[in-house]
Structures are given as C-alpha cells and as structure tokens.
Amino acid sequence: MFAISGSSQADHGLLSALASASGGAYVNLQRHTDADALDRLGRPVYSLLGVTAERGVTDVEPGSAQPAADA
C-alpha cells in the first residue's frame, strides 16, 4: 500500500506504519514535492530484510522490514 497525505493533522505515524507493514511506502506531502511523490508511487521499496552475525548478537532492531529511504 502506498499512502499519501498533505494534511498537517494526518496521523503520519499510523499511515507510515500501515504502508510499511504492507511493503509499501508513505509520502508526507508536507516534506516532499508532488513530483517526488509521483516518482515514488509503484516503485519497489528497498528494505533491510535481515542481518547475519557470527555470534554474540541477541537482538536486532527493527524487528521487521523497514524502508531504506525516509518516506
């Protein structure tokens, strides 16, 4: 899901979480131009999917895929 909002009253955290959970992205039009938003739509969202460690690592954050670029 790709979510876009230009409202100052939008729940940006919720929109971002919903979009990220589905493998999409959220674009806040107060931080990005319309052209930037259009450029992001439908494109793959590159995410950190995992980390491999030799030993001694007990926890890695974030615990799920997260967009690599600030949306």
pTM of the entire structure?
0.61
Looking at residue 13, its pLDDT comes to 92
Long-range Cβ contact pairs of 35-43 (< 8 A, separation 24 or more): 37/4, 40/2, 40/71, 41/2, 41/4, 42/2
H helices present in the chain, as ranges: 12-21, 34-40
Looking at residue 39, its pLDDT comes to 83
pLDDT tens string for the chain (71 positions)? 889 999 999 999 999 889 888 878 889 999 988 888 888 887 777 766 667 777 877 777 666 666 666 54
Looking at residue 19, its pLDDT comes to 86
Looking at residue 71, its pLDDT comes to 43
